[in-house]
Amino acid sequence: EVQLVESGGGLIQPGGSLRLSCAASGLNVSSNYMAWVRQAPGRGLEWVSVIYITGLTYYADSVKGRFTTSRDNSKNTLYLQMDSLRAEDTAVYYCARVPSGDYGDYWGQGTLVTVSS
Amino acid sequence: EIVMTQSPATLSVSPGERATLSCRASQSVSSNLAWYQQKPGQAPRLLIYGASTRATGIPARFSGSGSGTEFTLTISSLQSEDFGVYFCQHYNTWPTWTFGQGTKVEIK
């Protein structure tokens, strides 16, 4: 059974940094496309980032230059390093397995990031 | 950027009735479209990909159709557990995705 478990969310001041983790079981993050998607409170879904099997990463314009996606194959874990956080980054962050880089078929339960002073 | 527009914003349907949800793309996305269901406090659940292919374990009452710019998700006989918000998502401009704003399905 595939399970994705996010952690690392919390309250952070504007300009601060936070690292989210997505621990996977039932699949290998190294041999799958993996994505981060966020959802601001009461709002819709926004794609944030994707990491390819090759390690290549892509980002939404809204986070480019501030967020970095990586993975640790030995821990079977995906990460999202978030720097220079802004109030508009406040959201629940989900990780998802992306079969061919296109849509998410397995999703974690999400972790809430609140950026506020 | 391709904009996805869903209608209606809210749909109230009685159990057993048909529910029809629409998703329109601002330019053609071919058949590169997925549908998700999301319940409060839960992650999205993949229902349909490739515009019309049901994901694993999705009941046959859910069906998707359309191509190009016009898409439809149909729930043939609404069950009480089908309440929630439904999102469409295109993946035509790899690797970026865009979601619609969602349609809330309420049980009448």
Q: Which two tokens stand for residue A85?
A: 């956080």
Chain A contact present for B2, CB below 8 A: no
**pLDDT computed for residue B108 by the predictor:** 86
Residue-averaged pLDDT of chain A: 96
| Residue of chain A whose Cα is closest to the Cα of B5 | A44
Pairwise CB contact (< 8 Å): B34 & A60 = no
With an 8 Å Cβ cutoff, is A110 touching chain B? yes
Taking only residues 29 to 58 of chain B, the set having a beta carbon closer than 8 angstroms to any beta carbon of chain A reads: 32, 34, 36, 42-46, 49, 55-56
Q: Are B18 and B74 in contact (CB under 8 A)?
A: yes
Closest C-alpha among A23, A57, A9, A114 to residue B96: A57
Give the pLDDT mean for A35-62: 95
Average pLDDT over residues B53-67: 97
Q: By C-alpha distance, which of A67, A91, A72 is closest to A17?
A: A67
For residues A34 and A50, the answer to whether their CB atoms sit within 8 Å is: yes
Tens digits of residue pLDDT in A73-113: 999 999 999 999 999 999 999 999 998 878 999 999 999 99
Residue-wise pLDDT for B8-56, tens only, equals 999 999 999 999 999 999 999 999 999 999 999 999 999 999 999 999 9
Residue B102 pLDDT exceeds 80: yes
Residue B25 φ then ψ, to 5°: -100, 145
3-state secondary structure of A37: strand
Say which of B42, B94, B98 has its CB closest to residue A101: B94
Amino acid at A51: I
Cβ atoms of residues B100 and A43 within 8 Å: no
Beta strands in chain A (DSSP E): 3-7, 10-12, 18-25, 33-39, 45-51, 57-59, 67-72, 77-82, 91-98, 106-107, 111-115
Report the pLDDT value the prediction gives residue B67, as an integer from 0 to 100.
97
Of the candidates B93, B42, B96, B86, the one whose C-alpha atom is nearest the C-alpha of residue B64 is B86
State the smallest CA–CA distance between residue A75 and chain B in angstroms: 23
Whether residues A58 and B42 touch (CB distance < 8 A) is answered with no
Give yes or no for B100 touching A (CB within 8 A).
yes
State the pLDDT at residue A74.
95
Residues 6+ apart with CB under 8 A from B83: B39, B105, B106, B107
CB A65: neighbour CB atoms within 10 A?
9
A interface test, pick of B49, B85, B97, B104 with most A CB neighbours within 10 Å:
B97
pLDDT digits (tens, 9 = 90+) for B65-97: 999 999 999 999 999 999 999 999 999 987 888
Q: What pLDDT score was predicted for residue A101?
A: 72
Put simply, the answer to whether B44 touches A47 (Cβ < 8 Å) is: no
